[in-house]
Chains A and B, each alone.
Chain A
Amino acid sequence: MSAVDIQYPETEDDVARIVADAKASNLSVEVRGGGTRLGLGRPSQSASALSLAKLTGITNYDPSELVMAARAGTPLAEIESALAENNQMLTFEPMDHRPLLGATGEPTIGGVFAANVSGPRRISAGAARDNLLGVRFVNGTGEIVKSGGRVMKNVTGLDLVKLMAGSWGTLGVMSEVTFKVLPRPETAVTIVVSGLNDAEAAEAMAAALAMSVEVSGAAHLPESVIHKFAGGSLKGGPATVLRLEGLTPSVDVRSERLVAEMARRGTVSVLEAQASQDLWREIRDVIPFADGTMKPVWRVSVAPSAGHQLVAALRLKTGVDAFYDWQGGLVWLRMEADPEADLVRQYIKVLGGGHATLIRADAATRASVPVFEPQPKPLEALARRIKDQFDPAGVLNPGRMTAGM
């Protein structure tokens, strides 16, 4: 069911009133930002929606403090352009889901944090949740609550900020977020090691991350997807790509050392600034699988050394294409036909644990297959108790993450 009646609050008080009214009328609301990730997660079960698209604006930004605050509906593009003007950036480089999901609209900063969207730099700079310093939100009873603040270090009370990140609007409607920003690196280069198979690539990436060269991106692009990157310009078979960023003299030194080490493993080439930047955006946005289809796509998070083992095991059983980010620990899987949820999750368990999220599938599949990893009983019970403490009447995004919750 797609929500037809959409309300657009323009103030935090409006948000509180809408939620309180919904609760009083025993109704639920679908919470959305720009709507670019509505195709992700379990389908909405609400007749009406609350869109934050008109609760916008950067509320606090002093570049020398490395902190920005913005209302939740502020377009990500506006945030990124304000940061770019000051030569700063969101260090966790959030993925844009539009190409993969075939979605339109404008991603919002609130949506980025609600879904804890993090890109390749996650291995060195943390996830979205690591960069979120403070939130204001409206809970399911219509109360306005704040947690955290605008300083880098804060252990004052329970960290509800982390809990809000990645809760998909099921615990509260975020009205304002405060987050860390960082200077853009002066230079970035990407070392490309060609010709490694998946297992060799996992070893090469582990070796690179064991060196004191501060790799800020480590991905492996197997033969089957390599032509989809950089306009097909990466030659020489599969590519294992390693990004270095920072002050130019520093990147020069580190690059030299990394190239020397990697040259023993495969054919090495180097992508300079712009080519490097474009490649990592394609990796971030899962471009090889942005194919205009609704073939199921999984995002799998496992220990880095387990990623390629998972793919090898799945290949024996079903049609699957894959590539790797996060040193091999983030696996993007495109299934040929059936999502094979049980198979994927069973193998993850066997290989030491982790979790799988069904990022793309048609609505019917997302309603029947658990989109997010089912939790062991005690943890699911705990999640339900937590949900009850924020949203006792089940007003906010019911069923978005877990059926019946």
Chain B
Amino acid sequence: MGESKGYNDRLEEKLASVYSGGHEKYHEKMKEQNKLFVRDRLALLFDNGEYIEDGRFANVEAGDLPADGVVTATGKVNGQTVCVMANDSTVKAGSWGSRTVEKIIRIQEIAEKNRVPMLYLVDSAGARITDQLDMFPNRRGAGRIFHNQVRLSGFIPQICLLFGPSAAGGAYIPAFCDIVFMVEGNASMYLGSPRMAEKVIGEKVTLEEMGGARMHCTVSGVGDVLVSTEEEAIIEAKRYLSFFPSNYTEKPKQVEAKAIKEGRTLEEIIPENQNAPFDMYEAIDAIIDDGTFFDVKKLFAPELITGLARIDGRAVGIIANQPKAKGGVLFVDSADKATKFISLCDAFSIPLLFLADVPGFMIGTKVERAGIIRHGAKLIAAMSSATVPKISVIVRKAYGAGLYAMAGPAFEPDVCIALPTAQIAVMGPEAAVNAVYSNKIEAIEDPKERLKFVQEKHAEYKEEIDIYKLASEMIIDEIVAPSALRSELANRLRFYEGKQIVNAPRKHPVLPV
């Protein structure tokens, strides 16, 4: 209880200036945009709002660049230690100077040494062009941030919460993360701003159209989860993180099991007519713990659902065809979506559950020109090389390469389970009969006779691909009643926990894309 010392006053004064961020007018502007101050974001993110910080005094001598525009912190989220970098957009619009970059690199190094997840809370105008020689090209320039991200990928989870712009080179931070949350109306990503686009290529376009959150989460697929507020982004990011271990050497935590959501049974949900659509989300609800589904890329390529969930308290990554959207057919974007999701789950020991109801990969000029063959190959490569437990469930049809993509028997799933409604074939009965007998069918002149012939051939074909025949030939491993599917999956996830595959040594496969 002595008098305050002069040096303490000086420290307090400097800290007060650091904690208050940039000029008052920029704080006001953030409020208008429904954006939170960086330290309020961190208070929401960390358990009890507690964290330690490094580099608080970065660039303190400059006077007007508190913390050099970025807060780097370590603390607990859901009881799990994480490292965070968070731009302060009240300081020169969150732009990067040399110390900003050095701070980001150092917090990445801390995350690496402690083997804990790294979160990037991005709200930045990009490089400070006036400082370019100090922050751009050198060994510990901005490029090192991305180099580190690539090295850390699959080692620790990396998550991006995009609250504002992520411009030019800065747009690669989200690109190298496992998942990107975007706040609608405020978040954006682009290599060149609309102003630059107009100057350089003559295009007139709005920011929303070119790099807005909704566009990226529905069209480009660069964004994964679209949210309406920053609070929602933080809550959802925490929920996402709860599925993951701290690093690749650990396993996801098991939590208390919950019953399924009340609703219709799988028998009621799945129509017998193979060609009639149904909502796969409803079928997923009938097998997972209530309220656990975390949709990844919900708005992008909706013909394929990818999401994290829990079955009997155990984490699982679900890849499911959605017959309600585009008939559940696989496209370039759906292949792309599944590839990243499978790679994500496999990296962090989350078992994969495939729910197949797929007519195959899309055909036609449009998709061939877009390279559907190599994108399909990319999906099959990711699925094939995943070493986590893989469970393949044939819900209804699985035709052609669709069977392969959904971890069919040849791809070493731990089990291939068929529901009694399953139909596995190179193609559906209609297409197959047309393909084999088209000349014969055309030659029959009497329409009644022709119909009779076609129906006979359909019946023969259906017999050929009867699911019990496939079970008898041991092509599929099991046939399970829809009502028994959940408990079957719960048991298998429990028993496969110790699965280990050692791949033959090599440097790495050559990826199809």
Tell me whether A and B are bound partners. Answer: no
A interface residues with partner B (beta carbon < 8 Å): none
